[in-house]
Protein backbone atom coordinates (compact mmCIF):
# COMPACT_ATOMS: atom_id res chain seq x y z
CA UNK A 1 0.00 0.00 0.00
CA UNK A 2 1.19 3.50 -0.81
CA UNK A 3 0.65 6.42 1.58
CA UNK A 4 0.25 10.06 0.69
CA UNK A 5 -0.17 13.31 2.57
CA UNK A 6 -3.75 14.55 2.66
CA UNK A 7 -3.42 18.06 1.26
CA UNK A 8 -1.48 20.28 3.66
CA UNK A 9 -2.75 18.47 6.77
CA UNK A 10 0.29 16.31 7.42
CA UNK A 11 -2.03 13.30 7.79
CA UNK A 12 -0.82 10.21 5.94
CA UNK A 13 -3.57 8.25 4.20
CA UNK A 14 -3.57 5.12 2.07
CA UNK A 15 -3.81 5.45 -1.70
CA UNK A 16 -6.88 3.19 -1.56
CA UNK A 17 -9.55 4.19 0.96
CA UNK A 18 -12.62 2.28 2.09
CA UNK A 19 -15.94 3.80 1.07
CA UNK A 20 -18.90 2.52 3.09
CA UNK A 21 -21.83 3.46 0.86
CA UNK A 22 -22.72 -0.21 0.36
CA UNK A 23 -22.97 -0.89 4.09
CA UNK A 24 -26.66 -1.24 4.95
CA UNK A 25 -29.79 -1.69 2.92
CA UNK A 26 -28.60 0.12 -0.25
CA UNK A 27 -25.69 -2.23 -0.94
CA UNK A 28 -27.07 -5.12 1.09
CA UNK A 29 -23.93 -5.57 3.19
CA UNK A 30 -24.85 -6.62 6.75
CA UNK A 31 -22.99 -5.85 9.95
CA UNK A 32 -20.97 -9.08 10.12
CA UNK A 33 -19.69 -8.73 6.58
CA UNK A 34 -19.11 -4.99 7.02
CA UNK A 35 -16.97 -5.68 10.09
CA UNK A 36 -15.07 -8.38 8.20
CA UNK A 37 -14.47 -5.94 5.32
CA UNK A 38 -13.18 -3.28 7.72
CA UNK A 39 -10.94 -5.86 9.42
CA UNK A 40 -9.46 -6.99 6.10
CA UNK A 41 -9.11 -3.43 4.79
CA UNK A 42 -7.15 -2.32 7.86
CA UNK A 43 -5.02 -5.45 7.69
CA UNK A 44 -4.36 -4.69 4.02
CA UNK A 45 -3.04 -1.23 4.85
CA UNK A 46 -6.10 0.95 4.31
CA UNK A 47 -6.36 3.57 7.05
CA UNK A 48 -9.07 5.93 5.76
CA UNK A 49 -12.78 5.05 5.96
CA UNK A 50 -15.37 7.30 4.34
CA UNK A 51 -19.12 7.24 4.95
CA UNK A 52 -22.05 9.72 5.03
CA UNK A 53 -25.22 10.36 6.99
CA UNK A 54 -27.29 9.82 3.83
CA UNK A 55 -25.98 6.32 3.17
CA UNK A 56 -28.91 4.04 3.98
CA UNK A 57 -30.36 6.77 6.18
CA UNK A 58 -27.49 6.63 8.68
CA UNK A 59 -27.22 2.85 8.78
CA UNK A 60 -23.79 2.93 7.15
CA UNK A 61 -22.44 5.21 9.87
CA UNK A 62 -23.80 2.92 12.58
CA UNK A 63 -22.15 -0.10 10.97
CA UNK A 64 -18.82 1.68 10.54
CA UNK A 65 -18.94 2.77 14.17
CA UNK A 66 -19.44 -0.79 15.37
CA UNK A 67 -16.72 -2.09 13.05
CA UNK A 68 -14.05 0.33 14.29
CA UNK A 69 -14.96 0.13 18.00
CA UNK A 70 -11.83 -0.20 20.09
CA UNK A 71 -9.48 1.04 17.36
CA UNK A 72 -10.78 4.50 16.61
CA UNK A 73 -7.36 6.13 16.76
CA UNK A 74 -6.02 3.81 14.06
CA UNK A 75 -8.56 5.08 11.52
CA UNK A 76 -8.76 8.36 9.63
CA UNK A 77 -12.54 8.67 9.83
CA UNK A 78 -14.48 10.73 7.29
CA UNK A 79 -18.18 11.38 6.88
CA UNK A 80 -20.40 13.78 4.99
CA UNK A 81 -23.59 15.82 5.37
CA UNK A 82 -25.76 17.90 3.10
CA UNK A 83 -27.85 15.47 1.08
CA UNK A 84 -31.50 15.21 2.20
CA UNK A 85 -31.97 13.16 5.35
CA UNK A 86 -35.71 12.54 5.35
CA UNK A 87 -38.49 14.75 4.04
CA UNK A 88 -38.09 17.73 6.38
CA UNK A 89 -36.99 20.64 4.22
CA UNK A 90 -34.34 21.87 6.67
CA UNK A 91 -32.74 18.44 7.13
CA UNK A 92 -30.34 19.04 4.24
CA UNK A 93 -27.97 21.62 2.81
CA UNK A 94 -25.09 23.65 4.19
CA UNK A 95 -26.69 25.92 6.77
CA UNK A 96 -25.20 26.31 10.23
CA UNK A 97 -28.44 25.00 11.68
CA UNK A 98 -28.32 21.75 9.74
CA UNK A 99 -24.59 21.04 9.73
CA UNK A 100 -24.46 21.41 13.51
CA UNK A 101 -27.43 19.09 13.96
CA UNK A 102 -26.26 16.63 11.31
CA UNK A 103 -22.82 16.30 12.87
CA UNK A 104 -24.29 15.48 16.27
CA UNK A 105 -26.30 12.72 14.62
CA UNK A 106 -23.25 11.37 12.82
CA UNK A 107 -21.15 11.35 16.00
CA UNK A 108 -23.90 9.48 17.81
CA UNK A 109 -24.28 6.86 15.08
CA UNK A 110 -20.53 6.42 14.73
CA UNK A 111 -20.06 6.21 18.49
CA UNK A 112 -17.18 8.71 18.50
CA UNK A 113 -16.55 12.19 19.88
CA UNK A 114 -15.03 13.60 16.68
CA UNK A 115 -14.46 12.84 13.01
CA UNK A 116 -11.20 13.52 11.24
CA UNK A 117 -12.76 14.83 8.03
CA UNK A 118 -16.24 16.33 7.71
CA UNK A 119 -17.36 16.94 4.13
CA UNK A 120 -20.17 18.95 2.58
CA UNK A 121 -21.75 16.30 0.35
CA UNK A 122 -22.87 18.71 -2.39
CA UNK A 123 -22.68 22.45 -2.98
CA UNK A 124 -25.80 24.10 -1.58
CA UNK A 125 -26.76 27.05 -3.83
CA UNK A 126 -29.20 28.40 -1.23
CA UNK A 127 -26.52 28.89 1.45
CA UNK A 128 -23.63 31.35 1.34
CA UNK A 129 -20.06 30.14 1.57
CA UNK A 130 -19.58 32.38 4.60
CA UNK A 131 -22.43 30.67 6.45
CA UNK A 132 -21.19 27.17 5.73
CA UNK A 133 -17.51 27.87 6.36
CA UNK A 134 -18.28 29.75 9.57
CA UNK A 135 -20.22 26.76 10.92
CA UNK A 136 -17.48 24.32 9.93
CA UNK A 137 -14.78 26.53 11.42
CA UNK A 138 -16.65 26.64 14.73
CA UNK A 139 -17.16 22.86 14.73
CA UNK A 140 -13.43 22.45 14.24
CA UNK A 141 -12.64 24.86 17.07
CA UNK A 142 -15.03 22.88 19.27
CA UNK A 143 -12.93 19.76 18.60
CA UNK A 144 -15.76 17.85 16.93
CA UNK A 145 -14.02 17.75 13.54
CA UNK A 146 -10.34 17.96 12.67
CA UNK A 147 -10.62 19.08 9.04
CA UNK A 148 -13.41 19.81 6.61
CA UNK A 149 -13.82 19.35 2.88
CA UNK A 150 -16.18 19.48 -0.07
CA UNK A 151 -17.59 16.77 -2.31
CA UNK A 152 -18.53 16.99 -6.00
CA UNK A 153 -18.10 20.77 -6.12
CA UNK A 154 -17.71 22.35 -9.56
CA UNK A 155 -14.32 24.01 -10.02
CA UNK A 156 -15.69 27.54 -9.81
CA UNK A 157 -17.36 26.76 -6.46
CA UNK A 158 -14.07 25.37 -5.10
CA UNK A 159 -12.38 28.63 -6.05
CA UNK A 160 -15.24 30.74 -4.64
CA UNK A 161 -15.10 28.88 -1.32
CA UNK A 162 -11.34 29.41 -1.08
CA UNK A 163 -11.84 33.14 -1.73
CA UNK A 164 -14.65 33.35 0.85
CA UNK A 165 -12.47 31.67 3.49
CA UNK A 166 -9.73 34.23 2.94
CA UNK A 167 -12.12 37.19 2.69
CA UNK A 168 -13.93 36.35 5.94
CA UNK A 169 -10.91 34.92 7.84
CA UNK A 170 -12.45 31.45 8.14
CA UNK A 171 -11.12 27.92 7.88
CA UNK A 172 -10.95 26.61 4.34
CA UNK A 173 -11.81 23.32 2.71
CA UNK A 174 -8.76 21.07 2.80
CA UNK A 175 -10.12 18.30 0.57
CA UNK A 176 -12.38 17.73 -2.40
CA UNK A 177 -14.12 14.45 -3.28
CA UNK A 178 -14.99 14.27 -7.00
CA UNK A 179 -16.16 11.43 -9.20
CA UNK A 180 -13.27 10.24 -11.37
CA UNK A 181 -12.58 7.18 -13.49
CA UNK A 182 -11.15 6.16 -16.84
CA UNK A 183 -14.68 6.57 -18.24
CA UNK A 184 -15.45 9.89 -16.51
CA UNK A 185 -12.46 12.18 -16.98
CA UNK A 186 -14.11 15.61 -17.02
CA UNK A 187 -12.57 16.65 -13.71
CA UNK A 188 -9.14 16.56 -15.35
CA UNK A 189 -10.04 19.76 -17.19
CA UNK A 190 -10.72 21.95 -14.17
CA UNK A 191 -11.46 20.35 -10.78
CA UNK A 192 -8.17 18.48 -10.43
CA UNK A 193 -5.98 21.41 -11.58
CA UNK A 194 -7.82 23.73 -9.18
CA UNK A 195 -7.38 21.23 -6.34
CA UNK A 196 -3.66 21.12 -7.07
CA UNK A 197 -3.42 24.90 -7.18
CA UNK A 198 -4.99 25.23 -3.72
CA UNK A 199 -3.20 22.24 -2.23
CA UNK A 200 -6.37 20.24 -1.59
CA UNK A 201 -6.31 16.56 -0.82
CA UNK A 202 -8.41 14.67 -3.40
CA UNK A 203 -10.41 11.56 -2.54
CA UNK A 204 -12.02 10.26 -5.71
CA UNK A 205 -15.27 8.31 -5.66
CA UNK A 206 -16.54 5.77 -8.17
CA UNK A 207 -13.09 4.95 -9.64
CA UNK A 208 -14.68 1.76 -11.01
CA UNK A 209 -17.46 3.80 -12.64
CA UNK A 210 -20.32 2.23 -10.65
CA UNK A 211 -19.20 -1.24 -11.70
CA UNK A 212 -18.47 -0.63 -15.37
CA UNK A 213 -14.75 -1.14 -14.69
CA UNK A 214 -15.09 -3.99 -12.22
CA UNK A 215 -15.53 -6.69 -14.87
CA UNK A 216 -19.23 -6.96 -14.07
CA UNK A 217 -20.26 -5.26 -17.33
CA UNK A 218 -18.93 -6.92 -20.47
CA UNK A 219 -20.18 -7.42 -23.99
CA UNK A 220 -22.41 -10.46 -24.42
CA UNK A 221 -22.91 -10.95 -20.67
CA UNK A 222 -25.78 -10.23 -18.35
CA UNK A 223 -25.02 -7.22 -16.17
CA UNK A 224 -23.90 -8.45 -12.74
CA UNK A 225 -23.56 -5.27 -10.71
CA UNK A 226 -25.72 -4.42 -7.68
CA UNK A 227 -26.30 -0.88 -8.99
CA UNK A 228 -28.21 -2.22 -12.01
CA UNK A 229 -31.18 -3.11 -9.80
CA UNK A 230 -31.88 0.44 -8.63
CA UNK A 231 -30.22 2.44 -11.42
CA UNK A 232 -31.09 0.36 -14.49
CA UNK A 233 -30.74 3.31 -16.88
CA UNK A 234 -27.01 3.42 -16.12
CA UNK A 235 -26.56 -0.05 -17.56
CA UNK A 236 -29.08 -0.10 -20.43
CA UNK A 237 -26.84 -0.83 -23.39
CA UNK A 238 -29.57 0.28 -25.78
CA UNK A 239 -28.69 3.86 -24.82
CA UNK A 240 -25.99 5.47 -27.01
CA UNK A 241 -23.80 6.68 -24.13
CA UNK A 242 -23.88 3.22 -22.55
CA UNK A 243 -22.91 1.60 -25.84
CA UNK A 244 -19.95 4.00 -25.94
CA UNK A 245 -19.03 2.97 -22.39
CA UNK A 246 -19.30 -0.72 -23.24
CA UNK A 247 -17.03 -0.26 -26.25
CA UNK A 248 -14.50 1.58 -24.09
CA UNK A 249 -14.64 -1.13 -21.42
CA UNK A 250 -13.87 -3.83 -23.97
CA UNK A 251 -10.90 -1.88 -25.30
CA UNK A 252 -9.65 -1.12 -21.78
CA UNK A 253 -9.96 -4.80 -20.87
CA UNK A 254 -7.71 -5.64 -23.81
CA UNK A 255 -5.14 -3.08 -22.62
CA UNK A 256 -5.26 -4.59 -19.12
CA UNK A 257 -4.80 -8.13 -20.43
CA UNK A 258 -1.84 -7.14 -22.56
CA UNK A 259 -0.27 -5.43 -19.52
CA UNK A 260 -0.85 -8.49 -17.34
CA UNK A 261 -3.36 -6.70 -15.13
CA UNK A 262 -6.95 -7.17 -14.15
CA UNK A 263 -9.42 -4.54 -15.33
CA UNK A 264 -9.78 -3.43 -11.69
CA UNK A 265 -6.02 -2.96 -11.34
CA UNK A 266 -5.98 -0.93 -14.55
CA UNK A 267 -8.89 1.25 -13.40
CA UNK A 268 -7.56 1.94 -9.91
CA UNK A 269 -4.00 2.36 -11.11
CA UNK A 270 -5.23 4.93 -13.61
CA UNK A 271 -6.88 7.25 -11.09
CA UNK A 272 -4.13 6.98 -8.48
CA UNK A 273 -1.56 7.85 -11.15
CA UNK A 274 -2.89 11.41 -11.44
CA UNK A 275 -0.67 13.73 -9.36
CA UNK A 276 -3.69 15.53 -7.89
CA UNK A 277 -5.26 12.35 -6.48
CA UNK A 278 -4.55 11.40 -2.88
CA UNK A 279 -6.76 8.31 -2.53
CA UNK A 280 -9.26 6.32 -4.55
CA UNK A 281 -12.38 5.31 -2.61
CA UNK A 282 -13.32 1.68 -3.17
CA UNK A 283 -16.77 0.49 -2.10
CA UNK A 284 -16.79 -3.31 -1.82
CA UNK A 285 -20.00 -5.12 -0.88
CA UNK A 286 -18.23 -8.38 -0.07
CA UNK A 287 -14.86 -9.63 1.11
CA UNK A 288 -14.32 -11.06 -2.36
CA UNK A 289 -14.82 -7.62 -3.90
CA UNK A 290 -12.38 -6.12 -1.41
CA UNK A 291 -9.73 -8.70 -2.23
CA UNK A 292 -9.90 -7.97 -5.95
CA UNK A 293 -9.59 -4.24 -5.26
CA UNK A 294 -6.78 -4.49 -2.70
CA UNK A 295 -4.81 -6.30 -5.41
CA UNK A 296 -4.43 -2.87 -7.04
CA UNK A 297 -2.86 -1.26 -3.96
CA UNK A 298 0.63 -1.13 -5.46
CA UNK A 299 -0.29 -0.92 -9.13
CA UNK A 300 1.81 1.66 -10.97
CA UNK A 301 0.88 2.00 -14.63
CA UNK A 302 3.75 2.63 -17.07
CA UNK A 303 3.57 5.50 -19.56
CA UNK A 304 2.64 3.29 -22.51
CA UNK A 305 -0.41 1.90 -20.66
CA UNK A 306 -1.54 5.39 -19.64
CA UNK A 307 -1.11 6.48 -23.27
CA UNK A 308 -3.26 3.54 -24.40
CA UNK A 309 -6.01 4.60 -21.99
CA UNK A 310 -5.83 8.17 -23.36
CA UNK A 311 -6.35 6.77 -26.86
CA UNK A 312 -9.58 5.09 -25.75
CA UNK A 313 -11.07 7.87 -23.60
CA UNK A 314 -9.44 11.22 -24.23
CA UNK A 315 -8.26 13.35 -21.27
CA UNK A 316 -11.00 15.57 -19.88
CA UNK A 317 -13.84 13.61 -21.54
CA UNK A 318 -16.89 12.19 -19.73
CA UNK A 319 -18.61 9.35 -21.56
CA UNK A 320 -21.76 10.01 -19.48
CA UNK A 321 -21.60 13.72 -18.67
CA UNK A 322 -25.16 13.76 -17.29
CA UNK A 323 -24.06 11.51 -14.39
CA UNK A 324 -21.51 13.97 -12.99
CA UNK A 325 -23.79 15.20 -10.15
CA UNK A 326 -22.34 18.72 -10.33
CA UNK A 327 -24.57 20.26 -13.00
CA UNK A 328 -25.33 23.91 -12.13
CA UNK A 329 -28.88 24.31 -10.74
CA UNK A 330 -29.79 26.80 -13.47
CA UNK A 331 -29.38 24.06 -16.08
CA UNK A 332 -31.75 21.75 -14.21
CA UNK A 333 -34.49 24.20 -13.14
CA UNK A 334 -36.03 26.36 -15.91
CA UNK A 335 -37.26 28.90 -13.33
CA UNK A 336 -33.63 29.81 -12.58
CA UNK A 337 -32.80 30.72 -16.18
CA UNK A 338 -36.10 32.20 -17.41
CA UNK A 339 -38.01 35.28 -16.34
pLDDT along the chain (339 residues), means of 10: 97 98 95 98 98 97 98 97 95 98 98 98 96 98 98 97 98 98 97 98 97 87 63 82 94 98 98 98 97 96 98 96 80 81
Task: Tell me if 169 is assigned to some domain.
Answer: yes
Whole-prediction pTM value? Answer: 0.94
| 290-321 b/e (C-beta count within 10 Å ≥ 16 → b) | bebbbebbebebeeebeebbeebbeeeebbbe
The answer to whether residue 144 is domain-embedded is yes
Name the phi and psi angles at 18, rounded to 5: -95, 115
Predicted confidence at residue 222, as pLDDT, reads: 66
Please tell me the predicted confidence (pLDDT) of residue 238. Answer: 84
Range of the domain at 199: 3-330
The answer to whether position 337 is within a domain reads: no
CATH number of 77's domain: 3.20.20.100
Among 278, 289, 287, 214, residue whose Cα is nearest residue 38: 287
Residue of 55, 118, 147, 173 with catalytic role: 55
What distances in angstroms separate CA 41 from CA 33, 37, 67, 290, 338, one per listed residue?
A: 12, 6, 11, 8, 50
Tally of domains within the chain: 1
Is the residue at 255 inside a domain? Answer: yes
Residue 3 a catalytic site member: no
Question: What pLDDT does 294 receive?
Answer: 97
Quick one: pLDDT at residue 262?
Answer: 97
Backbone angles phi, psi at 261, to 5 degrees: -120, 160
35 part of a folded domain: yes
| 335 within domain boundaries | no
Among residues 78, 33, 39, 35, the alpha carbon closest in space to that of 55 is found at 78
Q: What is the pLDDT of residue 225?
A: 62
Query: What's residue 233's pLDDT?
Result: 79
Determine, yes or no, domain membership for 336. no
HSE, CB side, 13 Å, CA atoms: give it for residue 256. Answer: 22
Q: Is 208 domain-assigned?
A: yes
Amino acid sequence: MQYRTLGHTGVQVSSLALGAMNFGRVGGTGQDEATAIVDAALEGGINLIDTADAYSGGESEEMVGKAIAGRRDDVVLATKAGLPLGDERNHRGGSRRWLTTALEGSLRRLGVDHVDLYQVHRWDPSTSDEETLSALTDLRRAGKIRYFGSSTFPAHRIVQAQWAAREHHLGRYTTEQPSYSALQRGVEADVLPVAQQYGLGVLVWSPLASGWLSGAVRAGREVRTNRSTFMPQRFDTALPHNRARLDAVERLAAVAEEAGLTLIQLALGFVTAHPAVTSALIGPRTLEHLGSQLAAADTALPADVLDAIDAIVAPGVDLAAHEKNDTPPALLDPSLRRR
